[in-house]
Every structure is written in structure tokens, then in C-alpha cells.
Amino acid sequence: MFIGIDVGTSEVKVLLLAPDHTVLGSAGAALTVSRPQPGHSEQDPHHWWAATQAALAQLRADHPKAYAAAQGIGLSGQMHGAVLLDAQDQVLRPAILWNDTRCAAECAEMMAELPGLPDLAGTLAMPGFTAPKLRWVARHEPDIFQRVAKVLLPKDYVRLMLTGEYVTDLSDASGTLWLDVRQRTWSSDLLALTGLTEAHMPRLVEGSAPGGFLRPEVAQALGLPAGIVVAGGGGDNAASAVGMGAVEAGQGFLSLGTSGVLFVVTPSYQPNAASATHAFCHAVPDRWHQMSVMLSAASSLQWVTDLLGAPNAGAVAGRAAELSLAERAAAPLFLPYLGGERTPHNDAHVRGSFHQLSFDTDAARLGYAVIEGVSFGLKDGLAALNAAGSRVNRLSLVGGGARSAFWAQQLASALNTEVVTHGSSAVGGALGAARLGWLATGAPQSTVCQSPAIEASYHPDAAEQALLEPRYAQFRSLYRTA
């Protein structure tokens, strides 16, 4: 048996995986976020460990025999968070999270001081990443900065509690702005931007390699065998890809949640930072991935659902699906930039808008416009990935938007690729983490990283593509005037 631990922002989720790929059970423990000032987002690392213990205790209670037979543990987690430890491993301040925006000025400074940063790090400097957070701490909390002995990422603080070791994996390390992503090693030039050295960093391992072993006293408290391997693990998106079997070049997934993420595996390092994409190490050796991010995806549909007073987003999508092709062609166009946009525009100030409203515009047409606008935003993201040399064969669709067959079909047509959906148990970082724990025991990748069963498959439809093509051209032109 293998255990996956996913340290998210809203909960710690744990999962128990059998060697026949059956998910035997899962459990979770909720977390809260502190926002002491506008733009600030923090969590207490001690709460991650307490939640991990609580979730594992529930998993143990539900499946005592299988749980006790665990041979490997994998870790996944929210990326970019800054956990600051002193020389005695004491937490110096609450962890600054991925969605904290306080360090925009520091990002601009880093880009100016090291113009080659995007080529080294695979991305532009953005406030979400770890390095500018440390530069902010050095400026605003110098007494704390002087005491920093180690900087860990969220899942790796949990690893420290499990194993006593300072270790991170290459996929999570890619989101710090301290990693030379091409060489898969810490960069002294990037570290120098924040006044740190490699001595402040955890040891680097591949996500599928051992990243420590369970301490005897912790094993006893958790009811697990002492000394079992704890894998390097992965950042949340890379771990999710492993869970979906996306480990070979051209494989990938599309996450249609609050935000929209396109993740494509590449055989080499292929950055396109100018279009606000991320090129990071994958959680398995000799693989990288490209990622595009749009900020308002399924959340745009929820926004218009609330605006229309509809019972739920599914009802809005259902009404949109009933429109004929001719009615869709006459629907308004929607720019889905309700909170700015990342890929490909990197524009925090642009805002969403409807265009070509008329007296014929009703709830169904508004809902259709929003769904289509999000699809076009994701098409922009895929174009940015393609511009860097990425090629995608098939995309697994996950997230809340995956429940809409209409949206899945439209995405297949808009992106001109096969789109497939899976059961909910096949989705998420905890499953990928468990698989990485399995790999760390020495199991072959071909055995572990199988694609989950496909529930439905969608292929590009020529008639729908003929409708979408001119509307996408209009969509692209409207951004320039937004």
C-alpha cells in the first residue's frame, strides 16, 4: 500500500492506494488562511502538520490493515509558499503563501537586476513565487531575515516533521525562482538576488526518488512501519499529472477550476516566459513541463450564474447547450478577464467585458458567451505553449468544469485536440503523491504511471470549429482595445 499526502491551501488530503491502482480511501483535514493586511495571505506551518496527523488518523481508523501495510509515502502540495526556519528548525513567522501579492515591487527589481532571470527560471518574476517573498522579508522584517537558516516549501515542512531532513523535489523547487530549471540545480545567480546561498536551500531530489525515511518515533505515533521511504514528491500540478499518467512528452491535462491551467509534458526545457507561461521540471526524471494559467475559468461561469440568479452553473451550461449553431454565432463575445489575466497577456489591470449585446441577448446566450470566452482564453494559453515548441496529443479535463459535456466538446473543437474525462478518484495531487511514493520504492514507471480509466472522450467537430474560428479572431482583436 502507498500513502499520498497533499498539503493544499484549504485542506490536507491523504489517500491510500493499492498496488492494483485501487484508491482504497481518503481523508482530509481543513485549513484556514490568515489575511492580516490587504494582499497578504499566510498560514501557520504547524497547522499543516497537525492537519496531516489528523487526516492520517482518520485514514488509519477507516482502513487499519491496509494502512499499516504502507511501504511508501509521497508528498504533494501548494507551491511557492515561504517557510522560514532558524538554526533550531523553529518557524520564524507565518508562511507567506502562493496567493500573497505583497512583493510586486521586489519582482520588478529582480527582473531589472538580472535580465536573464526568465531564461534561468522558466518564468517571469511574479509575486506568487518564493524568492521575491524573501526579498520582501529582508526589506521589511530584517531581524527575521537575519535568523533564516533554511527556507522550505509547504509540503517539505511536513517532510521535515516526518523524516527530519531538508529535502525538496525539482518540480516544487521550480516554483521558487531559485532553480536553474534547465540544469535542474540551484542557481547561485538567482539566489544572490535575495541574499541567500545554497546552504539556505533543501537538498534536491527527483520527485520519484527517495526524499527521506520515516523516523521511528513518528512511525510509532502514526501507526506506520518505521523507516519506510518518503518520496521527493511534487508540486500540486506536477503531482496531479503523475496521478493522471501524464509523464511522457505530449501528454497533459486541462484543469477547469476557479482558474484554468493547461499542463503539457515536454522532453526538454522549453521556456516562453514572454507570454507568461511557466516552464518547470516535472516530478519524474528527464522530463519538464509547460504550463499556462488563466485567472478566471470556471469562476467566470459561477459569476454569471450568480448574476442571472440561476440555481447552479450546471443549469446555465445546460441552457447554453440548447442553443443552435446559428444562435451561438449571434451570441455576445465575452473577455474572461474578471481579475486580470496571466497567460498570455500578464496584465493585472485588464478587466472582463461583454461585446455585441442586443435585445435578443438572454440568459442562455450570456451563459454561452462566458463558456466560449473561457475556452478562447485557454486557446490563447495553448497557442503560447505551442509557440515554445510544445505539442499536445490529448488532454485530460479535470476540475469542476469537467462535469459539463457541452464544455468538454467545445474545448476539443477550440483546442483542436482530443479531450477526455476521468472519474473523480483519478484526480488530484494526493493520488499523484501516492504514485510517487510507490515509484520511490523502486517500482517501474510503466507500472505505476498508468492513465486512469476514461469516462468520456471528445473529438474536434468540424461544424463547431467553423463557428468558433471567426469568433476567436474577433475575441483576439477585442483584447487590444480592452
Q: What spatial distance separates the first Cα and last Cα of the chain, rounded to whole Å?
A: 53
Are residues 43 and 84 in contact, defined by beta-carbon separation less than 8 angstroms?
Answer: no
Residue 275 corresponds to which amino acid? S
**In a domain? residue 18:** yes
What is the C-alpha separation between 460 and 415, in angstroms, rounded? Answer: 8
**In a domain? residue 442:** no
Last residue of a domain, one of 178, 208, 237: 237
Question: Does 197 lie in the same domain as 261?
Answer: no
Question: Does 285 lie in the same domain as 377?
Answer: yes
What is the C-alpha separation between 167 and 212, in angstroms, rounded? Answer: 8
**In a domain? residue 214:** yes
- Tell me the average pLDDT of the chain: 94
**In a domain? residue 434:** no
Return the exposure string of 170-193: e unless at least 16 CB atoms fall within 10 Å of the residue's CB, then b: bbbbbbbbbbbbbebebbeebbeb
Question: Does 166 lie in the same domain as 41?
Answer: yes
Question: Does 281 lie in the same domain as 200?
Answer: no
The pLDDT of residue 80 is: 95
The pLDDT of residue 426 is: 52
Question: Does 464 lie in the same domain as 416?
Answer: yes
**In a domain? residue 480:** yes
pLDDT tens for 84-116 read 999 999 999 999 998 888 999 999 999 999 999
What is the C-alpha separation between 3 and 432, in angstroms, rounded? Answer: 10
Question: Does 333 lie in the same domain as 277?
Answer: yes
The pLDDT of residue 89 is: 97
Over 90: is that where the pLDDT of 128 sits? no
Q: Is 79 annotated as a binding residue?
A: yes
Question: Does 271 lie in the same domain as 212?
Answer: no
- Domain containing 170 equals 2-237
Residue 96 region by backbone torsions, left for phi larger than 0, else alpha for psi between -120 and 50, else beta: beta
Over 80: is that where the pLDDT of 327 sits? yes
Question: Does 316 lie in the same domain as 212?
Answer: no
Question: Does 179 lie in the same domain as 39?
Answer: yes
pLDDT tens for 231-268 read 999 999 999 999 999 999 989 999 888 888 999 999 99
pLDDT class of 461 with cuts at 50, 70, 90: very high
**In a domain? residue 443:** no
Last residue of a domain, one of 205, 237, 269: 237
H or E stretch at 335? strand 333-335
Are residues 373 and 304 in contact, defined by beta-carbon separation less than 8 angstroms?
Answer: no
236 tagged catalytic: yes
Three-class SS of residue 240? helix
Three-class SS of residue 212? strand
DSSP string, 273-330: GGGT-EEEE-SSTT-EEEEEEES-SHHHHHHHHHHHT-S-HHHHHHHHHTS-HHHHHT
Give the number of other Cβ atoms within 10 Å of residue 254's Cβ.
27
Number of structural domains (the chain) is 2
| Three-point CA angle 286, 292, 293, nearest 5° | 135
- For 220, residues 6+ apart whose C-beta sits below 8 A from its C-beta are 226
Strands (E) across 181-287 are located at: 185-186, 203-205, 210-213, 229-231, 234-235, 251-256, 260-266, 278-281
Residue 84 corresponds to which amino acid? L
Marked catalytic residue, from 156, 172, 236, 380: 236
Question: Does 393 lie in the same domain as 468?
Answer: yes
If you average pLDDT over residues 380-409, what whole number do you get? Answer: 89
Question: Does 300 lie in the same domain as 157?
Answer: no
Q: What percent of the chain clears pLDDT 70, i.e. is strictly above it?
A: 99
Are residues 390 and 290 in contact, defined by beta-carbon separation less than 8 angstroms?
Answer: yes
Last residue of a domain, one of 189, 216, 237: 237
The pLDDT of residue 257 is: 81
Are residues 308 and 363 in contact, defined by beta-carbon separation less than 8 angstroms?
Answer: yes
- Beta pairing partners, 240: none
The pLDDT of residue 333 is: 97
pTM for this model (two decimals) = 0.89
Cα-Cα-Cα-Cα dihedral sign, residues 8, 13, 18, 24: negative
Cα-Cα-Cα-Cα dihedral sign, residues 62, 64, 66, 72: positive
**In a domain? residue 447:** no
| Cis status, amide bond into 344, omega within 30 of 0 | yes
Calculate the CA 406 to chain-centre distance. Answer: 24
**In a domain? residue 56:** yes
DSSP string, 444-467: -HHHH-PPPPEEEEE---HHHHHH
Q: Give the C-alpha distances (Å, rounded to integers) separating 451 from 18, 77, 190, 409.
A: 15, 21, 36, 21
Question: Does 189 lie in the same domain as 121?
Answer: yes
What is the C-alpha separation between 10 and 217, in angstroms, rounded? Answer: 28
CATH code, domain carrying 112:
3.30.420.40
Q: Is 1 annotated as a binding residue?
A: no
